[in-house]
Chain A
Amino acid sequence: MNHRELQSQLAEAGYVADESLAMALYLALSLGRPLLLEGPAGVGKTEIAKALADVRGARMIRLQCYEGLDASAAIYEWNYQRQLLAIRAAGENEAADAVEERLFSEKYLLRRPLLEAISQDEPPVLLIDEIDRADEEFEAYLLEILSDFQVSVPELGTIQAKSRPMVILTANGARDLSDALRRRCLYAYISYPDRETELAILARRGPELEPRLAAQIVGVVQALRREELEKKPGVAEMLDWAAAISGLGINDLNDDPAAVQASIVCLLKTAADRDAVPGEVLQRLIGKAA
């Protein structure tokens, strides 16, 4: 397999990847290294993990990071309730050693996403989403898993990965990631797609649209990204808007200015941005895009 084949496989799964992203994925897969994706919100960083799982026919395991995420929510925890019940049930007939042995066996281990991911028989796709939201301490936990694919449980010893998961990390730039983490990962920066790519995405993921209308929609979204906005519309927003336009039965953006202006809520998600793009500006953008 080479990166072009991977690219076309992804395209079949509904994900239009540019060549450098395909190369990054291909190398991450063939070298068995995690891949760190950065880029603005809404360019399809999370989506790529789903598409990859699709292509590989693998399970996707997702760990959503947040501030305060700790090991017991991300790696493993003992199932205390079951352990207590087991102690009660054991009574006095069993030797203390045997009980202990049993209580700290894998049966009583609650697998959280990271442990889950390395104990699959078939290699899954592990998506660690928005890693920059987690605390810096959490990155340290990740290092062991990402470089050696193993987890240390004090009571059990080290659990080795049965199969190497394909790891994808995403970050939005909320804070700087540590060098140690960056060094262990391959890196790719995804920016907003260019016109042709975005048209291809719309053709693949969006509703059935006339080529002219599709070109208009993509043109307006691309023009909006060049405006001074707080939150620039991403690919997902573009698809939402296309669906809305198609649902409203609009065949040409020039036809029904009021409806188009109302549907702009799909693209602009803050009050300031909506004020920045009043009807006249939108009409001008549509005029240019056509």
Chain B
Amino acid sequence: MIRFDNLSKRYEGGFEALRNVSFEMDAGEMAFLTGHSGAGKSTLLKLLMLIERPTSGNLLINGKNLNRLAHSKVPFYRRQVGVVFQNHQLLFDRSVFENVALPLQVAGYSPGDIGRRVRAALDSVGLLEREQQNPVALSGGEQQRIGIARAVVHKPKILLADEPTGNLDPQLSAEIMALFKRFQDVGVTVLVASHDINLINRMNMRIMRLNQGQMEEDGISYGGY
């Protein structure tokens, strides 16, 4: 599903965020991306969202090379990817419902379809009763779950998360991670960047560790170290 092929990213000014990174993820696989801040986790996710383009190497999604994707096609690619941000990027000038509906509106769904799918997404994160509230009135954990609902409302094949538990206490963080696991269970490919080693070790999943832009370790953890 996702294939990084000897990929490097050098920013203007010479900083090399990723160096010859290669890995593959199968459809329906879930993995964690970890490493110190500045190790390249965010850059890797940005490449996957086409916010940044690689300096060299190939990035293949479902066998298609993203390097060759024209600027005008980028929005259509992004509609197949769901993204959860650390600061959740919710808009406080509209209700929870309207926030979650945004990816569907953008893709041109009809109002009836939007209503049905938004409620299904809110239900899956357990916040259906909050749909008419403003997200500013919700707690940090709830806001993050709204962000997840927005990321999955259009049923993407790939779900990316950048430090989704960064501002949450351990119990809420575990809940959020369990939520991601549920999406993996229904076939979504999930990649979560997190520096919360304790939490991700408990998940018993594939962990990729970046260090100074290089893939240092890639394997399954067994809750040990």
Q: Do A and B bind each other?
A: no
